[in-house]
Amino acid sequence: MQENRKFSVIDRIKSFKYAFNGLRLFFINDHNGRIHLFAALIAIGLSFYLQLSASEWIAILAVIISVIVAEIINASIEKLADVVSPEYHPKIKVVKDLAAAAVLMAALVAVVVGLIIFLPKLSRIIG
Residues identified as active-site: 71
- CA distance readout (Å), 27 to 3, 63, 72, 85, 108: 35, 18, 9, 24, 21
Q: According to DSSP H, which parts of 9-127 are helical?
A: 9-29, 31-49, 54-84, 90-126
Task: Tell me the DSSP string of 4-17.
Answer: -----HHHHHHHHH
For helices 9-29 and 54-84, what crossing angle results, to 10°? 80
| HSE toward the beta carbon, residue 27, CA cutoff 13 A | 10
